[in-house]
Structure formats: C-alpha cells, structure tokens
Amino acid sequence: MFDVGFSELIVIALVALIVIGPERLPRVARTLGALLGRAQRYVNDVKADIQREVDLDELKSIQSTFQDAAKSVEQSVNQVGEELHSAGESLNQSIAGSEDVKPAPVAETTVPATAAAETPSDSAQMDLGLEPAPAAEPATAPKT
C-alpha cells in the first residue's frame, strides 16, 4: 500500500519523539496501534462481506443452472413417459383387436404319471427308520 522503508520509519519515530515528548509517546503509540487494528478489522470485514456477496451471486447462478437442468430432465422424462403410455395403449388396442380372431386349437399331450416317481420306496423309508406311507386311494367323483 505505502512504500515506507525502515529508514523512513526511524525518521518518523524521531520526529514523533521530539514533537510529542517521551512521556506521552507510549500512550500515543498504543492509541495509534489500537486505531490501526480497528481499521484493519474494518477493512477485513468489508472484504469478507464483498466475498460473501460474490459467492452468493455464484451460488445463485449455479442454482439457476441446476434448476434449468432439472426442468429439462423433467420434461424429457415426461415426454418419454407419454411415449411409453401411447405405445402401451396401441399394444392394448392391437391385443384387443386380435381377440376377435380365435387362435387355432392346441393339441393336448398327456404325460403318464407314475406313482413310484412321486413317493420314495417303502424300503428306502425303512432304511431311514420311517414307516411306509399308506397306499393312495383312487379319487372318486362326487355324486350329485
């Protein structure tokens, strides 16, 4: 800020000593130091306030950028959702239209079921210490 060298400070101190006097010089130096400290704190507070305002402006611009990006993403998601919905409706309509045409009958195939494959053998149950299962009774149709 000021270009003051050591020799210039010595000259200022000697002039102050002569003008103020040796009795009041320490009190004046303390007062001058306190005032300089207050001035430095004030300047630092102003700098901090300015920096906060600059940071706030940057944050606001970042926030608006993110909001714009979020809106564009939301619009694209809504657009894709509408496309999926319309595609689903067209598929439902095509399925409803194909129900009018009856499908060809499918040939039925029967698989023979064996009782031996379904239950373990009696000898295997005896080896495990289990009692053999009772024989299955044939199912009868209910009488009406």
Is residue 68 domain-resident? yes
pLDDT of residue 69: 95
Is residue 125 domain-resident? no
Is residue 111 domain-resident? no
pLDDT of residue 128: 56
Q: How far apart are CA 13 and CA 65, in angstroms?
A: 57
Q: Give how many domains the chain has, as a whole number.
A: 1
Is residue 138 domain-resident? no
Exposure string for 15-51, b = 16+ CB within 10 A, e = fewer:
eeeeeeeeeeeeeeeeeeeeeeeeeeeeeeeeeeeee
Is residue 139 domain-resident? no
- 107-140 residue pLDDT tens: 555 555 554 444 555 555 555 555 555 655 555 6
The neighbour count for residue 53, using CB atoms within 10 Å, is 10
pLDDT of residue 49: 95
Q: To which H or E segment does residue 125 belong?
A: helix 122-127
Is residue 128 domain-resident? no
Mean pLDDT along residues 83-103: 82
Indicate the pLDDT class of residue 142, thresholds 50, 70 and 90. Answer: low
- 20-51 residue pLDDT tens: 888 998 999 899 999 999 999 999 999 999 99
Is residue 89 domain-resident? yes
Is residue 83 domain-resident? yes
pLDDT of residue 9: 84
**Residue 25 belongs to domain spanning:** 7-96
* The total number of residues written for the chain in this structure: 144
pTM confidence score: 0.41
Beta strand extents in 3-142 (DSSP E only): none
